[in-house]
């Protein structure tokens, strides 16, 4: 089992509207660090991310940690990938990290700005001992959670949705 596998973050636009108006490389919101993205972490040939399921809020124990081929998340539009460094962990050690996260990240614990795919990616990168996801990826979500009126509004909408 070889170690020192490259770790990458794959960044996705949520849809064509966010791609055009929020996340474009030349958009003022991205330059200000206010983009709105989904992301996943690739290691040893698989990409891992955190999702929720509309119909599983009452289901305890259903993990929100998913895996798929790198850059192939069918729910979002892939727009960028960045190398985060090489993990010193072996495949078996990475599997153990992922298994631990599968238990710690149930789908029904998802929150739009408080516990989402970017928070998961940050925790996974710490476990893999590589560079953290760049702050601009979490821009709008991080801004919303730190600004009380926006946090209140998002929480109201979010809890209404679930």
What is the DSSP code (8-state) at residue 64? -
Please, which pLDDT band fits residue 19 given cuts at 50, 70 and 90? low
Looking at every residue in the chain, the average pLDDT score rounds to 82
Tokens of 21: 């108006």
Using left for φ > 0, alpha for ψ between -120 and 50, and beta otherwise, residue 55 falls in: alpha
User: How many degrees, rounded to 5, is the angle at CA 40 between CA 39 and CA 44?
Assistant: 155
Give the H/E segment covering residue 118.
helix 117-128
pTM attached to this predicted model: 0.82
Of the given ranges (54-58, 113-117, 118-122, 155-159), which has the lowest mean pLDDT? 155-159
**Can you give the pLDDT at residue 152?**
52
């Amino acid at each position: 089992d070889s170690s020192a596998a490259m770790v990458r973050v794959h960044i996705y636009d949520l849809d064509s509207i966010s791609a055009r108006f929020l996340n474009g490389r030349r958009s003022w919101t991205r330059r200000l660090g206010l983009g709105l993205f989904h992301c996943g972490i690739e290691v040893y040939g698989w990409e891992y991310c955190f999702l929720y399921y509309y119909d599983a809020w009452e289901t305890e124990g259903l993990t929100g940690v998913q895996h798929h081929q790198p850059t192939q998340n069918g729910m979002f539009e892939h727009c960028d990938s960045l190398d985060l460094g090489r993990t010193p962990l072996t495949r078996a050690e990475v599997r153990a990290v992922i298994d631990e996260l599968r238990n710690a990240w149930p789908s029904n614990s998802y929150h739009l700005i408080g516990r989402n795919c970017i928070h998961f990616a940050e925790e996974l990168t710490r476990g893999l001992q590589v560079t953290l996801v760049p702050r601009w990826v979490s821009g709008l979500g991080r801004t919303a959670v730190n600004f009380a009126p926006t946090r209140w509004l998002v929480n109201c909408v979010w809890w209404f949705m679930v």
